[in-house]
Amino acid sequence: MTDVSIHPSAVVEPGAKIAAGAAVGPLCHVGEDAVIGAGTRLVSHVTVIGATTIGENCVVYPQAVLGGPPQNTGHKGGRTTLTIGDNCTIREFVTMHTGTDNARGATIVGNNGNFLAYSHVAHDCTVGNNVTLTNGATLGGHCEIGDNVAIGGLSAVHQFVRIGHNAFLAGGSMLVGDLIPYAIAMGNRAKLRGLNVVGLKRSGMSRAEILALRRAYRTIFDPARPVAENVEIARVEFADSPAAMKIVDFIGARGKRHYAVPPLKAGADDADDDES
């Protein structure tokens, strides 16, 4: 552990691996099976236990607990893992659990994540890159979260739910069904409210592709026909739109949950008033 800064009050158990340039602050506890990447800083009062690997250049704030055992009665105590990518910010009181030994056995968090105070990543979740969980946001077990997803404060995501790339879940929502890529959902239980056009523009998506995506969204959720039929129409009509095909493929690869749909009395694209 050459070139590692460890405060005298910290507890680093034998066997822990801490890379050069990392810092372990006051009153932290790093367990024997933990791996801390280069340049990562545990500010103070941080607990890293279990088979937990934290990537490079992360910052973990006080009272975060990473690598606790899963809150799952099916888990029998076997070795399971939590892996966190590079350049993540993990704020106060965040909790992330390892996987379960009767399931995939691993919880995986991507790079450049921003996990605000009191947010939670449960067992066996897969979280993509550039994901933000705002204060108090909670993921149930086995969730799959795509890249560039933002989840608002005090929102909860039901276990086994999938959220597609570039989607946005508004604050105070309860999401019990899969959320398609590029969409906005809000409410209890959350419904689709249109496309995340602001996020799409920030990602650099062209105006032409956004317009094609809007048309595909309206086709898929046209109330005149069943969604399954609409999806097949969209598969043909928008075959030259990679973004639209991501939505079509996402719906086609259904998991264990249904998917969120627009409210019955709402327009098919009611959260997006940018026609220009």
- Catalytically active residues are 123-124, 141
Q: Which three-class secondary structure state does DSSP give residue 25?
A: coil
CA-to-CA dists, residue 89 to 124, 131, 205, angstroms: 20, 11, 26
Distance CA 31, CA 217 (A): 48
Q: Which one, of 15, 20, 19, 86, lies nearest residue 51 by Cα?
A: 15
Distance CA 144, CA 275 (A): 31
Residue 10 CA, distance from chain mean position: 30
Q: Which one, of 218, 210, 217, 179, lies nearest residue 276 by Cα?
A: 210
CA-to-CA dists, residue 233 to 121, 125, 194, 222, 229, angstroms: 37, 32, 19, 11, 6
Q: Which three-class secondary structure state does DSSP give residue 64?
A: coil
CB 192 within 8 A of CB 175: no
Q: Which one, of 142, 160, 148, 134, lies nearest residue 258 by Cα?
A: 160
Question: In sequence order, what are the beta bridge partners of 95?
Answer: 65, 120
Query: What single-letter DSSP state applies at residue 257?
Result: S
CB 185 within 8 A of CB 266: no
Scan for tokens 């979740």, then name that residue: 125
Helices (H), ranges, the chain: 197-202, 207-220, 227-237, 242-252
